[in-house]
């Protein structure tokens, strides 16, 4: 607020331009919030389902191998993974393992 007041004392047009940028940013944030309202809950639900299925698959792998039901259990895991895919990041954060190791 101090900077805004200072800019307004220098030139009122510059102050209004500064204020317009803040208003545009606020409007964009509100629009994104409204559009993502239902998607967040669905994303959390799909992630929980994927986590539960992965834990069930990993914890039961010995039983699955012993009974020979590998395909059925794996298909359940892949189905949960496919349902989660639209909510996962589209590109990995690091494309190259060496780049990730060198960046930190």
4: CB partners within 8 A, 6+ apart: 15, 18, 19
Q: For residue range 12-23, list pLDDT tens digits in order.
A: 999 999 889 889
Secondary-structure percent of the chain, ordered helix, strand, coil, rounded to 5: 85, 0, 15
Q: Is the dihedral of CA 57, 45, 100, 104 positive or negative?
A: negative
pTM above 0.85, yes or no: no
Query: Which whole-number Å values give the CA distances from 9 to 16, 20, 21, 71, 78, in the listed order?
Result: 11, 17, 18, 72, 62
Of the candidates 87, 23, 18, the one whose C-alpha atom is nearest the C-alpha of residue 49 is 87
Q: For residue range 23-76, list pLDDT tens digits in order.
A: 999 999 999 888 877 777 888 888 888 888 888 877 777 776 777 766 777 777
């Amino acid at each position: 607020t101090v900077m805004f007041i200072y800019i307004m004392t220098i030139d009122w047009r510059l102050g209004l331009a500064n204020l317009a940028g803040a208003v545009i940013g606020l409007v964009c944030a509100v629009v994104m919030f409204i559009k993502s309202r239902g998607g967040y809950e669905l994303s959390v639900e799909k992630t929980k389902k994927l986590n539960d299925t992965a834990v069930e698959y990993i914890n039961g792998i010995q039983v699955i191998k012993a009974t020979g039901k590998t395909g059925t259990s794996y298909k359940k895991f892949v189905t949960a993974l496919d349902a989660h895919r639209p909510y996962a990041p589209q590109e990995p954060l690091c494309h190259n393992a060496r780049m990730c190791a060198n960046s930190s």
